[in-house]
Each structure stands twice: as structure tokens, then as C-alpha cells.
Amino acid sequence: MAALAAAVFVVNQQPTPTASELAQLEMLEKYSGITLDEVNEMPKQDRPDLAMLQNLEMTKNPALGYVPEGAAMAAYQQVKKSMDAFQAQAIPGVTWTERG
């Protein structure tokens, strides 16, 4: 009985995909049977769908199978924060005066 309750709890913990996340899953499913040779034979000009597919494959959460909504923005903000901190202390102890 405890195992059943734990299984229900684990299933309920999985986030429900939003509409955009479902669209990602549908796109990945559409291209799931294509081999690398078939992709290499496709004309690459005017194929934004293949660019989007590559972006999805590079950024998706492997556990979920899609990019969770808001994950890209959170990652961008984290990188921006670390870059701002790095640039603020590029040369410690040096004061820069702009001269035009």
C-alpha cells in the first residue's frame, strides 16, 4: 500500500507540460525516426524547422524531454549576473575615468 502511495506521489510531482512545451514534444516526435544520413541529405537553405530542432535538442531537459518554460530566461539571467560581476571587477583596484 505504501508503494502505491509513493508511486502516486511521484507521478503527481511530474510537471504538466504547457502548450509551448507540448509543441516542442510534437516537433521532436515528428523528427524522431530520421537518421543522420537523411538529415545530411536534406537541403539546408530555408529550413528554420531544422534550426529549431537543433536548438531544442541542445537545450532540452533530458529528464523531461523538453525545455521547461522559463528555463531559458532563468539561465540567461544567471549568465548575465555572473558576467556583470566579472566585468565590475575586471581589474581590482583600478579606477577608470572616461575621457571622451
In a domain, 13, yes or no: no
44 lies in some domain? yes
Number of domains in the chain: 1
pLDDT of residue 96: 79
Backbone angles phi, psi at 66, to 5 degrees: -150, 170
Within a domain: residue 100?
no
- Residues 19-71 have pLDDT tens digits of 877 887 887 787 788 787 887 787 777 778 888 888 888 888 888 888 888 88
Q: What is the DSSP letter of 38?
A: H
Shortest CA distance to 23 belongs to which of 72, 58, 56? 56
pLDDT for position 77: 94
Q: Is residue 57 situated within a structural domain? A: yes
Find out whether 84 and 35 touch, Cβ atoms under 8 Å: no
Report pLDDT for 89: 63
pTM for the model: 0.45
Q: Which is more confident, 5 or 98?
A: 98
pLDDT at 79: 93
Residue 66 lies in a domain: yes
Residues whose CB is less than 8 angstroms from the CB of residue 61 and which lie 6 or more positions away in sequence, other chains included: 67, 68, 71
Provide the domain limits for residue 47: 18-82
Q: Is residue 61 part of a domain?
A: yes
Asked if the structure places residue 92 within a domain, the reply is no
